[in-house]
Amino acid sequence: MVDDSGQLYTIEGIAAAILMIFTAYLAVNTAVVYTPQDVHIIDMQLEQLGNDALVVLDTPPSESEKSPLQDYIERDKPEWFGNNFTRLMNATTSGNPDKIKYTATVYYRDIADPTNVRTHPFTNSTTSSRYYRENAVNVSRLVYVNDNPYDAIVDDQVVLLEVMVWRD
Amino acid sequence: MAGLNDDAQWIVMLGFIISILILFLALIVNQSALVGQTTAESVLEFPKTSIQDTRNELMTLKDSGLLKSSLIDDIEFLSMVRRGAVVSVNTSATYIHYNDGVTTYNETIGGG
């Protein structure tokens, strides 16, 4: 009943099995399964990128100097912020630059009424965009300003720069 | 057993084994998408950058001698209103407390 007449077929079967398993393994490893929930991964990367860009802008070039971000807010120059922020956000190592849009707002405490938060849009028409409910992430940074341009009552204050970032 | 050909039993069996293996691989791929999602969600939820930012701002102000109670009030207020986090700092910024409902962070800085 049991003999060794089919040895070659057996070896061929095993070889074919190994080949097929290996091919299937390669195939499932190469293809990225993209499900709608995976936008969280994109969000996470975008949030990290946005925060990194804000950290770069909030780092003074040398000690006892103001950070660029502080300078932009004190002098109320959203276009300077926009140029540098979009340059950092859209930089790629090769090929076309990325297409990341943003809109920014400065939040600060109302000194006359300390329980009230006041807002000031930190946008300009050439670099920032209007937000129409795209899938955006929110990044923010506390910035010390020595001269609040929106509130004449107070000299130095900590304001919060909030930037909404999304990929077009 | 007349007429029943059992020559290719090995190949048929391997076919079964392979199909079961592919099924398991599909299950693993299915799970990996879920793992990526939950990992990304927990990274998004964890307020790493908020804590770093709060710390950085306080330390910079302290080191440059600009720290005063109105600035601490600003930080605590803006954290509450815009980040939904309770931040509590003592006047010399040697103690920092951060709580956003999910993550709590406490720090006491010595030598202050």
Q: Which candidate from A37, A107, A114 shows the least CB-CB separation from B82?
A: A107
Q: What ipTM did this prediction achieve?
A: 0.73
- Flag whether the pTM goes above 0.95: no
pLDDT for position A149: 76
From the number of C-beta atoms within 10 Å of its C-beta (0-12, 13-18, 19+), residue B89 rates as buried
Q: Match 């929110």 to its residue by tokens.
A: A138
* pLDDT tier for residue B1 given thresholds of 50, 70 and 90: very low
pLDDT in tens, B67-103: 999 899 999 999 999 999 999 999 888 899 999 999 9
Q: Which candidate from A38, A142, A158 shows the least CB-CB separation from B36?
A: A38
CB contact (8 A) between residue A24 and residue B43: no
- When pLDDT is averaged across residues B29-55 and rounded to a whole number, the result is 83
CB contact (8 A) between residue B71 and residue A107: no
**Alpha-carbon gap, residue B99 to B102, rounded angstroms:** 7
pLDDT for position B92: 86
CB contact (8 A) between residue B25 and residue A24: yes
Q: Which candidate from B7, B29, B37 shows the least CB-CB separation from A6?
A: B7
For A49, A68, A106, A168, B69, the CA distances from A54, given in Å and listed in that order, are: 9, 10, 13, 20, 25
Nearest to B27 by CA among B39, B35, B37: B35
- DSSP line for B27-53: HHHHHHHHHHHHHHHHHHHS-HHHHHH
Going by C-beta distance under 8 Å and a sequence separation of 6 or more, which residues neighbour residue B76? B87, B88, B89
**Alpha-carbon gap, residue A73 to A81, rounded angstroms:** 9
Going by C-beta distance under 8 Å and a sequence separation of 6 or more, which residues neighbour residue A152? none
* Residue B67 backbone dihedrals phi, psi, to 5 degrees: -65, 130
Q: How far A20 CA lies from chain B's nearest CA (Å)? A: 8
CB contact (8 A) between residue A24 and residue B22: yes
**Alpha-carbon gap, residue B7 to B36, rounded angstroms:** 46
Q: How far B9 CA lies from chain A's nearest CA (Å)? A: 9
Least confident of A54-58, B9-13, B107-111: B107-111
Three-class DSSP category at A155: coil
CB contact (8 A) between residue B82 and residue A144: no
